[in-house]
Amino acid sequence: MFGEDWLFAEQLGTIEKELEKFQQWEERSEGIGLTLRKWGYLFWTTLLIGTVAGMIAGAIIKAFDDSFVFLGVEVGAYEWVFMVFGASMISVLSQMGFFAYLTLRFIAISFFRRKMVYWTILQALIVAIAFFDVAYLRYTGYEGEDKSVLGFLILPIMLLLVGLAISYWKMKQTNSSAFIPTLFFMTVVTIIEAVPAFNLDDTGGRSYVIFMVVPLIVCNAWQIMQLHKITQPAATQKELTN
């Protein structure tokens, strides 16, 4: 009788352990599902926001520049169809740049011994170099008659102002250490993503650059401002917003 009770208790203990493991697996699976849903939410909202921003930019360009024809497609509504497709692809490019930056940041932080100090300094230096290059290289590479230094300073100044505003907003919602990384992402990464427009545009940096940079800025701002909301627990988010 004692042996049967002991065997039953041992089997019951084994079952309880298995149930506990199963419950832990369910919790981990639920957490993964929520994470995937959040990233799915980020993807689709970024795609929608980028497409809308690109179409608004395209409509404004068409209103002020009658000679602008998107990718040479001049057949009525087909141009707008191609414009929607182009704007959506720009938003996807923005998301690729976003994940590339997160990967670069992870590698850089793991590489430097004094992680945040050296990486922050390096990012600040790259921001300065990128602003110089985007103005100087485009200026020296342009051969049109309407060449002026001021015209090529508008884009860097605009990127700097928007980057500073988003970085300040990000810092207010998180902490002061987020300022330089956000500025780096909003400026350097945006410039790199917009390189195809710099090469394609032959009017000194207007039509295609505007069409591409506007949705890139909007998408990058949306993604960087959503990052801490996705990666932090709900309790931490409430603490930051209170």
Of the chain, the end-to-end C-alpha distance in Å amounts to 62
Report CA torsion sign: 157, 160, 162, 164: negative
Say what the pTM is.
0.76
- C-alpha closest to that of 69 among 55, 58, 53, 85: 58
Question: pLDDT tens digit string along 98-153?
Answer: 999 988 888 887 776 666 677 788 888 999 888 888 877 776 666 655 566 666 77
- Ranges of each domain in the chain: 46-241
Other beta carbons less than 10 A from residue 94's beta carbon:
26
- C-alpha closest to that of 230 among 115, 106, 98, 107: 98
Amino acid at 99: F
Question: pLDDT tens digit string along 57-110?
Answer: 888 888 877 766 666 656 566 677 778 888 899 999 999 999 999 888 888 877
- C-alpha closest to that of 219 among 98, 94, 101, 99: 94
